[in-house]
Chain A
Amino acid sequence: MATIELVNLTKRYRQGPHTITALDGVDLRIESGDFVSIVGRSGSGKTTLLDLTGLLLRPSSGTVLLDGAETAGLSDGRRADLRGRRLGFIFQEYNLLPALNVLENVTLACRYAGLDRREGRQRARQLLDLVGLAERLNHGPDQLSGGQQQRVAIARALVNRPALVLADEPTGAVDTQTADELLGLMRRLNREEGVTFVVVTHDLDLAGRTDRMVRLQDGVVVSDERLNAA
């Protein structure tokens, strides 16, 4: 099963004459089926870590291993393929396509991965049922509340049965109660579908309800504790 290994991962941004080290030699191993939260102050490098893990960004040095396989040498196309087949993304801003309805948004990844359409639609329906939006398949994103849109995004992230879902502040734009519901939903999918989740959050309460909490500070992992979420 899928494990993700970050080995001595470093990312530097060049800004004029200065170089900002956003991530500084991070080593992290995430086991399959885990539910991990990443916390830290603003600018500590959480998003950079997630983007590197999600193969959206190339590290300055170090590497990401997916199931033990090196990803550093892969072409952009191969990395896109891996993202489409093995990874799912959830963003703070939902990022649904306004031109597509709920069902089409969820099946978007199938379009690029060249997967069977009928199967993709069936899977999407099943997931939308799971997130409680079975009745809204043909609605546009602008007809949904923020929490509902994020649930569509969660379904979208899971449609290709990814090994790992990366969520960058998925509850950052909704109220506490909705945030609670969304986290509950992700937990449930984590258990029922066996999908690994890595969730970046500012909310320590939410982080406290995950299996493992990794704390970043100035691009370095300063604590990594296993929690006993009830």
Chain B
Amino acid sequence: MREIFSNLLRRKLRSTLTVSGIVIGIFALTTMGSLAEHFNSLLDIGVRYAGAAIPVQAPPEQQGALLPLSKQAELARVQGVSAVYPGYTVQARPGGSAIQLGAPDLIVNQQAGAEQYGLPGPKFAAGRNLAPGQQGEIILGPTIAGDLGKRTGDTVNLPVKPPGAREDFVSHPFKVAGVLTKNGQTDTFAYVSDADARMLLADTLSPTVRSAIDVNTVAQSFTVFPTKGTSLNEMDAIAARVNEQVPGVHAQKPSELVANFKSAGSTFTAIFTGAAILALIIGGLSVVNTMIMAVSERIREIGLKKAVGAHTGQILREYMLEAAVIGALGGLIGYGIGLGLTTLLDVLGASSNLDIFLVTPRLTAIALGFAIGMATLAGIVPALRAARLDPVTALRSL
């Protein structure tokens, strides 16, 4: 081992260049990979949601229209449907800062008990779930909690009153019951009861609309759950039945949503693969080059080692190990820089909800394993050349 580092130090410039080559490759791999991991994790959750529920909204020609809450019972009667939840969404910080880069902070109604139909249940970093039937409580995603500067037990007034808001802008006090763990998907969401969500929805309606309807009889959307484990095909069939049997609503086929997610996923996988190929070419070639040079300038040493009893396999191992050490060095540095940069960018972007990198243990293993594996592989040919040298020829060379 010491011999390897000593040899690397003896050729400082060359070692630096080689390691830099791997650093560049693994840096690209880490940053592109964490980008891909981030989006893939979102897509995975997306696929899980899309594969678990059928979203029902107003038909496309009356997009955004409110739906009568009575549709809930109609939807529930469709064959294959086991639960229907109304959905409400309002902005937590309406008319906020002019340009917002990340996802907006939203208040939605909690679909309590949806876990039993295959959705991921809430995971709490602190506090507890909403008490059933209790109004005036709220659960915050980690991002929105950070934006609002609130913790479990605090009281928060929502929606946040924007600067220059109208006189009649209303906020309501909510007690923070719990804060969720980060999952990359629902971090900017706040959850309230159905009744509270309707109250908040009413506040967003124009006075004429508000006086014309009873907000307690409407929903913005519905989420239709089949029983857990229903196949995508059967869910498509349920969506088709909804569109056929329930007038005035539109159900989207889950398979279309899943396909959208999957095609987006393959784009990121392609980007990641591109980065890997880049890393392979840059890093691999620099290792091949370095190892060839190392072997040719150490031919006499190899001859000497063989004279004092080294076997072909032992020399092979030494040179492969040297290549692997170069790979590990470059991999660690490249991964370190990549990790540092993505973490820094995410921290900087946190204020605008711009969280776009995700370094997973899998990515760490891939980046380091790739660096070491690639270097070792690149070292095989030069190492074989070294190991197979005839001792006399090697000793008498130069």
Contacts and interface: CB of A to CB of B under 8 A. Distances in A.
Bind each other: yes
Interface of A: 51, 54, 56-57, 76-77, 80-81, 83-85, 89, 91, 93, 95, 97-100, 104, 108-109, 111-113, 156, 160
B312 A83 contact: no
A112 B314 contact: yes
24 contacts: A51-B392, A56-B307, A77-B311, A80-B306, A81-B311, A83-B306, A84-B308, A84-B309, A85-B309, A91-B304, A91-B395, A95-B300, A95-B301, A95-B304, A95-B395, A97-B3, A97-B301, A99-B7, A99-B10, A100-B6, A104-B3, A108-B308, A109-B308, A112-B309
From A56, A76, A156, residue with most partner B Cβ within 10 Å: A56
B5 to A, nearest CB: 9
B391 interface: yes
A95 B306 CA distance: 12
Contacts of B312: 76-77
Interface residues of B, number: 21
B310 interface: yes
Contacts of A57: 392
A99 B3 CA distance: 6
B305 interface: yes
Given A76-B312, A95-B300, 20 more contacts: A51-B392, A56-B391, A56-B395, A57-B392, A76-B311, A80-B310, A83-B307, A84-B310, A85-B309, A91-B304, A91-B395, A98-B10, A99-B6, A99-B7, A99-B10, A104-B2, A111-B310, A112-B305, A112-B314, A160-B309
Contacts of A76: 311-312
Contacts of B391: 56
Nearest to B315: A112
Contacts, number: 63
Contacts of B392: 51, 56-57
A113 B303 CA distance: 16
A138 B314 CA distance: 25
B307 A89 contact: yes
A67 B2 CA distance: 37
A91 B307 CA distance: 11
B309 A100 contact: no
**Interface majority SS on A: helix, strand, loop or mixed?**
helix
Interface string B356-398: 0000000000000000000000000000000000011001000
A76 B389 CA distance: 12
B309 A81 contact: yes
A83 B314 CA distance: 15
The 4 A-B residue pairs whose C-beta atoms are closest, nearest first, are A84-B309, A99-B6, A109-B308, A112-B309
Contacts of B310: 80, 84, 111-112
Nearest to B4: A99
Contacts of A160: 309
Contact of A80 (B6, B7, B300, B309): B309
Interface in B288-341: 300-301, 303-312, 314
Contacts of A77: 311-312
B295 to A, nearest CB: 14
Contacts of A156: 308
A112 B3 contact: no
Nearest to B391: A56
B307 A54 contact: yes
A113 B309 contact: yes
Interface string B1-45: 011001100100000000000000000000000000000000000
A179 B6 CA distance: 31
Contacts of A83: 306-309
